[in-house]
Structure formats: C-alpha cells, structure tokens
Amino acid sequence: MTAQNIVAADTDARPRGDVLLRASDLAKHYPLRAESLTKRRRVLRAVDGVSLDVRGGETLGIVGESGCGKSTLGRCLVRLTDITSGRVEFDGQDITTLSARRLRRIRPGMQLVFQDPQASLNPRRRAGDIVAEPLLIHRYGDAAAVRRRVAELFDVVGLASAHLDRYPHEFSGGQRQRIGIARALATSPKLIVADEPVSALDVSIQAQVLNLFADLQEEFGLTYVFIAHDLGVVRHVSDRIAVMYLGEIVELAATEALYSAPAHPYTQALMSAVPEIDDGPATVKGAGAHRRERIVLTGEVPNPVAKPTGCTFHTRCPYARERCAVEHPRLTETASGRRAACHYPLDGQR
Ligand SMILES: Nc1ncnc2c1ncn2[C@@H]1O[C@H](COP(=O)(O)OP(=O)(O)OP(=O)(O)O)[C@@H](O)[C@H]1O
Ligand code: SF4
Ligand SMILES: [Mg+2]
C-alpha cells in the first residue's frame, strides 16, 4: 500500500457527524498503599494521557492486552469514575468535574454496556424491572408509560415481552446481554460505551449480538465506543480503532488502514498473533494480498506501576533503538499520514 492510499484509507469509513465525545490528555491514576512507612506511595497509571475524538454515528474500537486500561478509559469517558487529570467533553459540554447532581442530568445521554451480563444484572430483580430502572431514575413518565417503554425496548432488542417477569437466570447468556442493552437504550442515549459486550458469550452467539449492535446503530444513529481484546470482533464493528498499551494510545486509524498496514510495532505484533480463520492455522490474518510478517510478542506486559522509560513498548519491541529507551514518543502523524506513538513507525516499510 502506498503512502497516498494509506492516507485515503485513513479518511472516514462512513459519513460522520460532529465530535460527540472528546478526551484531552486524560489520565486516571490509582494511588497504591505504600509498602512501608518510609517508602513513597506508588501510583498505578491505568490511563495516561489519552486524547481522542468520537464523532456522532461512528464506532471507535479500543483494543489492547488485558490490563492496558481499556475499561478504566471507558469508565472515565462516561464519568463513572473520577478523572485524575485532563478533560472529557460530551456533546459540547465539559463533564470532567461535574457535580453528581449535574452529572445526573447528562447521564441519560451516555450509557455503558458491561462485559458480563451475569454479574451486571441484579439476580433478584425481574428483567422488566431492570430495564425500567433508568426510566424511573430519570422520571420518564407514569407507570403505564414506563411499562409501554419497557415492552418496546424488549421488542427492539429481540426479547419476547412475555418474558418481562422472568429473572436473569432464566435467560441464556445472549439474552441476558440483550437485557443489558435494553437497559442502556432505555433513556435514548446518544453514546454507548460497550466494554467487551460479547467476550463472555459463546462464539455462536457473539455474531447475533454484534449484529444487534449494528442494527441499533443504524436505527437510532447511535455512537459507540466499543472495547474488546479480540481483534476480530473489534474489526467487525469499528470505523476507527485505537490501540492501547500500558494506559496510552499507541495507534489510532481507520479500521482497514490499520489492518492492512499497521504503523506501530505493537499493532503489528498484536495482529500477527491473530490466527487466520479461513486460511489454515499456520498463517496469520492478512488483509487482501498483504501478508504480514509474523512478529512474536516476547516477554510479559511490564508492571503498570513501574512503566518502562521512554517508549513504554521498548522492552518488547523488535525494532527498538537507543533513543526508544529515553525519549517518550507522542501520538503524532507519521510521514504517511498515520497516527502512531513511535519514533520509527512502520509506514509500510517493514
Ligand atoms: N480500582 C482500581 N484500583 C487500583 N488499580 C486498578 C483499579 N481498576 C483497575 N486497576 C488497574 O488498572 C490497570 C488497567 O485496568 P483495566 O481494568 O482498565 O484494564 P483492561 O484493559 O480493561 O483489562 P481487561 O482486558 O483485563 O479487562 C490494571 O493494572 C488494573 O489492575
Ligand atoms: S518508539 Fe522505538 S521501541 Fe517504541 S515502538 Fe517505536 S521503534 Fe519500538
Ligand atoms: Mg476490561
């Protein structure tokens, strides 16, 4: 792929609206207990200087290995957790430090769908009541209006309204996730942050739930931030993808551009690890005629409490040079128009 068509592929995958969600230099640090009275309190930098825009109607995928800060970032974006520093704007409003009362007012517009519907749905409440809860909190209307809305939501997500009175354990895993989605949709949000919404489901059910997400986006013009560690899943649903490593975004690109020519060595390594489904187990997932060099990720993910100096990936990067251990690369545009945090981006050269 030439530099020119990488730039072309990096433009909108579909027409998108104005910026709905913007994070600027966002950080979430967890202070840890000091090991002894004489030692300094250590800090775990779960999210560390993340900047991104999400436009109305698009799906931004977020991928990365376990513990890289995906869920923490998702929770910061919808202000389910306090933010250490930086800024989050939603629908033109700075929501970084809103009081609980003012946050409640914007809450209907942004919702989170959790990974494990088993754990996120109250087992002692009936499905209809679970879906009704946000409507009651936000004073949707009288009891009859709430009942009508819940039945409508059941229909929208493909659940039978005859099952309104069932308890979560009486549904299958896929159906439970549909309850979680119906609850998230109840207040007609503009933005849904979905944190690994299909990871806990059987592979055979995953496609159905992913198709539901796609249908709902089409029908209601929803904007998604879609978190997943599974590159296949995230590729399937995303217009653009942000790749995270140790709390930072190391690459941000349109989905096909990212898959056909990753600019960051970590992205390349992550994708090399995905087996080719259609082409036998010995090959790697290739994009069209572009067969990728197989890079094996060696070593463990470093401890986020003691992140490596310079480029945090330098301890595992096959292309690391001296500069990488001392100078931190920022997420910037590379020579071929990609956005990567690397001193020596691949730019289709390797
Ligand atoms: N409440 C907390 N207190 C202290 N550390 C936390 C807290 N929540 C998360 N962490 C740490 O922050 C880092 C990022 O965690 P996070 O759950 O956001 O990662 P993740 O990418 O979602 O991982 P996974 O793929 O396993 O879900 C991890 O090192 C985790 O141990
Ligand atoms: S900055 Fe250096 S160590 Fe980091 S990803 Fe790029 S080449 Fe590898
Ligand atoms: Mg997570």
With respect to residue 173, please indicate whether it lies within any of the assigned structural domains.
Answer: yes
Query: From the CA of 348, how far away is ligand 3's center (Å)?
Result: 31
Q: Which atom of ligand 1 is nearest to the CA of 30?
A: 4
CATH code: domain of residue 180:
3.40.50.300
Q: Is 71 in the pocket of ligand 1 (CB under 6 A)?
A: yes
Assess if residue 178 is contained within a domain: yes
| Cβ atoms within 10 Å, residue 195 | 22
Strand partners, 242: 62, 252
**Residue 226: how many other CB atoms lie within 10 Å:** 27
Domain-located, residue 80: yes
Residues 234-238, mean pLDDT to the nearest whole number: 93
Pick the closest to residue 340 from 287, 268, 290, 289 (CA basis): 268
Tens of pLDDT along 167-202?
999 999 999 999 999 999 999 999 999 999 999 899
Number of domains composing the chain: 1
CA distances from 257 to 2, 8, 266, 336 (A): 11, 9, 15, 11
Give the mean model confidence (pLDDT) for residues 52-67: 96
The pLDDT of residue 17 is above 60? yes
Q: Is 326 exposed, middle or buried (0-12, 13-18, 19+ CB in 10 A)?
A: exposed
Q: Is 251 a member of any domain?
A: yes
**308 Cα to the center of ligand 3, angstroms:** 22
Q: How crowded is residue 236: how many other Cβ atoms within 10 Å of its Cβ?
A: 20
Tell me, yes or no, whether 196 lies in a domain.
Answer: yes
Evaluate whether residue 164 is within a structural domain.
yes
Domain assignment of residue 310, given as a range: 3-7+20-34+41-340
Q: In whole angstroms, what is the distance from residue 114 CA to residue 121 CA?
A: 9
In a domain, 13, yes or no: no
Query: Which residue out of 70, 76, 266, 301 has the highest number of ligand 1 atoms within 8 Å of its CB and is therefore the one to mutate?
Result: 70
d(CA 193, CA 76): 10
Closest to 250 in 3D by CA, of 305, 324, 322: 324
The confidence band for 272, taking pLDDT boundaries of 50, 70 and 90, is confident
Return left, alpha or beta for 316; rule: phi > 0 is left, psi -120 to 50 is alpha, else beta. alpha
**Residue 44 confidence (pLDDT):** 96
> Does the residue 136 lie in any domain?
yes
What confidence score (pLDDT) does residue 15 get? Answer: 52
